[in-house]
Amino acid sequence: MSLIVQKYGGTSVADIDRIRNVAMRVSKTFDEGNKVVVVLSAMSGVTDALIKMANQVAYAPDKRELDVLLTTGEQTTVALLAMMLKGMNYSAISLLGYQAEILTDSDFGNARIAGIGARRIKELLDEKMIVIIPGFQGSDQNGNLTTLGRGGSDTSAVAIAAAIKADMCEIYTDVDGVFTADPNICKKARKLDRISYDEMLEMSSLGAKVLQIRSVEFAKKYDVPVHLRSSFSLEEGTMVVNENSDMERLVVSGVTHSKNEARITLKKVPDQPGIAAKIFTPVADAGILVDMIIQNTRAEGMTDLTFTVPKSDYKKALEIEKKVAGEIGAEAVIGDENVAKVSVTGVGMKNHSGVAARMFSALAKENINIMLISTSEIRISCVVEEKYAELAVRVLHTEFGLDKE
C-alpha cells in the first residue's frame, strides 16, 4: 500500500468525458489498495477565460478579487470529480485550499505556500476517503483566498505530497514525459526514463513547459519523487528524482531552445565603475528579467555591452536603454529580435570536460554563428540567429548521442 498524490492538469479535466477518465484512474489506484489524494487544475482554457472576463469589468482588476474569481476554476473540477466518484460508490470528498489548510502569504496572484496543515487530509485518508483538492489555491492568514501563479497546480500537488509524506507524486498531463528535445522539431527525440531535479529545473527555466519551476524546487527541497506522465496512456512517463539514484549516465540529457529572446547592445559605453549598474537598474526596476550579459574590452576606455531579455519586453527595454545611453554617453543602442537561445543540459557535464567545445564545433560545422554564450555547472546556452534554432537543436541532439535508433 502506498500513499499517492495524483495531479491532473487542465487538458486532463477539459470536459466531462475526460473527468470520467480521471475518475477511472483514481478509482483504479484506490482499488489497488493505495491511499489517494487528487489535485486538479481548472478545465483547460477556463483560467484564461476568467482573466479575460475580469479585464472586461476593470482596467486593472483588484488582485484580491481576481483570486476570488480564479479559484472558481479549480473549485468546479474538484466538485465534479467528487460527485462522479460518489456516483461510482467511492467515498470521496473535496477540500478547498483553506479547508485543506494550505496557508500562503498574501501576494495575490503569485502567493507562496507557507505551510500545509496536513491533519485533516490525513484523517480523511485514514477513514479510507479519496481526498480531492483544487490546485493553484490557498488562503492567507486572514482567510483571504490566494492563487499561486500560472501553472501553480503542480506546486500544490508537490507541496501536498511533501506535507503528507507521500510515496509518490504523479503529475498527469497531455505529454508522455520529458523528452531529450521538443519532438515537434526533433523527430529523433526520445522520452527520458529519469531526470534529476536540477536538470528539470534548468530545462523548465529554459522554456520546457512541462512543470511549474516552483514545483520542482519544492520537490528537490523535500525529496518528493515526481512521476510526470500522460493521463491518456498507461505508459510510464519520466521520473524526476534525486541525482544520485541510478540514472542513465548521459553527458547531456536534453537540448532545449527558446525563441522568446531578444538582444540589445549598447555601443561604446565608457568603461568606468558604476556604468553597468546604470544600465541594468532601470530595466530591473521595470520588472524585466535580463538573462545573458557580455561585455567586451575595447581600446580608449570604451566597451560594448550586450544582453538578452524576453522578446515580450524587448521594446520596453530598448526604450529604457536609449534613455540610459544618452545619460551615460554611449554611442548607440541597437537591438535584434530575431534571435533564439539553444541550450544543452546535463548533470554529466560536471565530470566531463570539453562539452562546450563540442557544442561550438557542432554549430560551426553547420555555419551557425554564436552571438552570446552562458554556462552553469550543468548547462551551456548559445544565442544564435532565430532561423537556425531548429537546425541547431537537431545538430546538437545528434552530436551528444541522444538520437533514438
Angle between helices 63-87 and 16-31 (to 10 degrees): 60
CB 321 within 8 A of CB 332: no
Question: Does 152 participate in binding Mg ion (rule CB under 5 A)?
Answer: no
Size of the site for ligand ASP (CB under 6 A): 12
Which range touches Mg ion (CB under 5 A), out of 150-158, 162-170, 192-200, 237-245?
A: 150-158
User: Which of 327, 308, 328 minimizes the C-alpha distance to 318?
Assistant: 308
- The SS3 assignment for 228 reads strand
Question: Residue 207 CB, nearest distance to ligand ASP (Å)?
Answer: 16
Question: Residue 332 CB, nearest distance to ligand ASP (Å)?
Answer: 41
Question: Does 6 participate in binding ligand ASP (rule CB under 6 A)?
Answer: no
Distance CA 101, CA 92 (A): 18
Cross-strand pairs, 194:
239
Question: Residue 40 CB, nearest distance to Mg ion (Å)?
Answer: 11
Question: Residue 278 CB, nearest distance to ligand ASP (Å)?
Answer: 37
- The SS3 assignment for 71 reads helix
Question: Residue 117 CB, nearest distance to ligand ASP (Å)?
Answer: 22
Q: Which amino acid is residue 127, in one-letter code?
A: E
Question: Does 135 participate in binding Mg ion (rule CB under 5 A)?
Answer: no
Site string for ligand ASP, 32-71 (x = CB under 6 A): ---------xx----x------------------------
Question: Does 177 participate in binding ligand ASP (rule CB under 6 A)?
Answer: no
Place of cell 562546450: 356
Which range touches ligand ASP (CB under 6 A), out of 145-153, 194-202, 273-281, 391-399?
A: 145-153
Q: Which is nearer to ligand ASP, 6 or 265 (CB)?
A: 6
C-alpha cell at 204: 523548465
Question: Residue 404 CB, nearest distance to ligand ASP (Å)?
Answer: 30
Question: Does 345 participate in binding ligand ASP (rule CB under 6 A)?
Answer: no
Place of cell 548547462: 379
**Maximum CA pair distance of the chain?**
81
CB 45 within 8 A of CB 10: yes
C-alpha cell at 329: 554617453
Question: Does 138 participate in binding Mg ion (rule CB under 5 A)?
Answer: no
CB 155 within 8 A of CB 145: no
C-alpha cell at 369: 554563428
* Residue among 7, 9, 23, 78 that touches Mg ion (CB under 5 A): 9
Question: Residue 389 CB, nearest distance to ligand ASP (Å)?
Answer: 26
Question: Does 134 participate in binding Mg ion (rule CB under 5 A)?
Answer: no
C-alpha cell at 68: 476570488
Q: Which is nearer to Mg ion, 151 or 237 (CB)?
A: 151
CB 110 within 8 A of CB 67: no
Question: Does 151 participate in binding Mg ion (rule CB under 5 A)?
Answer: yes
Beta-sheet pairing, 168-173 with 145-147: unpaired
CB 190 within 8 A of CB 244: no
Question: Residue 319 CB, nearest distance to ligand ASP (Å)?
Answer: 30
* Residue among 8, 108, 136, 179 that touches ligand ASP (CB under 6 A): 136
Which range touches Mg ion (CB under 5 A), out of 7-15, 293-301, 311-319, 371-379?
A: 7-15
Question: Does 151 participate in binding ligand ASP (rule CB under 6 A)?
Answer: yes
Cβ-based neighbours of 59, under 8 Å, separated by 6 or more? none
End-to-end CA distance of the chain: 38
Question: Does 12 participate in binding ligand ASP (rule CB under 6 A)?
Answer: no
- The contact set with ligand ASP (CB under 6 A) reads 9-10, 41-42, 47, 73, 135-136, 150-153
- The contact set with Mg ion (CB under 5 A) reads 9, 151
